[in-house]
Every structure is written in C-alpha cells, then in structure tokens.
Amino acid sequence: MKSYEPGQGRKTAALRGSFMCGSLLYTMHEKYMRMALKQAHVAQTKDEVPVGAIIVKDGKVIARAHNLRERTQRALAHAEILVIDKACRKLNTWRLEGCVLYVTLEPCAMCAGASILARLDGVVYGAKDPKAGSMGSIINLAEISQYNHHPWVIEGILAEECGQILSDFFKLKREK
C-alpha cells in the first residue's frame, strides 16, 4: 500500500490511490472493510453500537476489535482504541508504522488522535459520522500541519453497509 506524504488531504489520498491502482486497490480495501464489518456485527450481538475495526500490516490482519463501551463502561473502549492497543501489544511497539486501520465508522477526535499518535500509515473508513467524525466530517485532524504525523485517509469504503448496520441498530433501540 502506498504511504502518502505528510500533510496530504484525504481527498488527495483517495484520488491518488484510485489513480494508482484502480479497482484492484478498491477491492483490497473492500476485502478488509468486510472484516471490520464482521467485527461490527459481533458488537451488535453484544448490544453495543456496531462499529468494528481491524489493523493490517504487510497484507496480514494483526488485530481485530469492536466497540465495547457499554459492556465495559470504559470511555476509551471504542473499536479503534481497542484495535490500536492490541496491535501495539502484538508488535511490542507504540509506533505502528506500516500499519493501516480499517474502521466501519469515521473516527471521533479521540480515535483520530490515537491514529496520529500511533503513527499509523493510513486510515480507511466506511460511513461518515456527521455528529463526531474528525477525519473529514467536522474536522480532519490528519490534515493539521503542526502535528508531527499525518496518516492518509480514505473514506466511503462499503459506506452503505457500514452505515446501514448502525441505522438498523438505532432504529431497533428506538422501537424497544
């Protein structure tokens, strides 16, 4: 996977990605996003807001996690934080260079910040989050030039499926 230059925006990254490898790259992103979606489904079975994430390095999935905030009552138990923590433990380093995060929902400020802190190469997400999304919707923290790391960001991979599982979850909650 191409690692983009610091400071490049998500749109540039997405366009360059598409231009470089075309549908092959898109298929790869879809494959990994399906794995993240599987994690979202696991969260759903636990009555958690269905968001799932995986981390990929050198073509291998090195960590999987899903949102567990209600079950654990930990503010930090977002899928991205849990998966970054798992990846750090697995590789025994806080520098997740060469790693890409796939997550079904656009990261919030905490998770976008964690992606920068962990020096992830890139972040690929599915559905946008207009209420808290901090990698394109409200703000894009990956584009703040003063920070010392700038993961590239690609949005909208399996966006409909990633959003649908959330809509269904909240609809069911309201009906109950």
Residue 138 exposed, middle or buried by CB count within 10 Å (0-12, 13-18, 19+): middle
Residue 74 within binding range of a copy of itself, rule CB under 8 A: yes
Residue 118 within binding range of a copy of itself, rule CB under 8 A: yes
Shortest Å distance, C-beta 44 to a copy of itself = 19
Question: Which residue, 85 or 161, is less far from a copy of itself as judged by CB?
Answer: 85
Residue 96 within binding range of a copy of itself, rule CB under 8 A: yes
Shortest Å distance, C-beta 25 to a copy of itself = 26
Tokens (6 digits) for 160: 């409909």
Neighbours of 98 (CB within 10 A): 14
Answer for which of 21, 28, 117, 159 binds a copy of itself (CB under 8 A) is: 117
Shortest Å distance, C-beta 18 to a copy of itself = 28
Question: Which residue, 21 or 62, is less far from a copy of itself as judged by CB?
Answer: 62
Among positions 130-149, residues that touch a copy of itself (CB under 8 A) are 131-132, 134, 138-139, 141, 144, 146-148
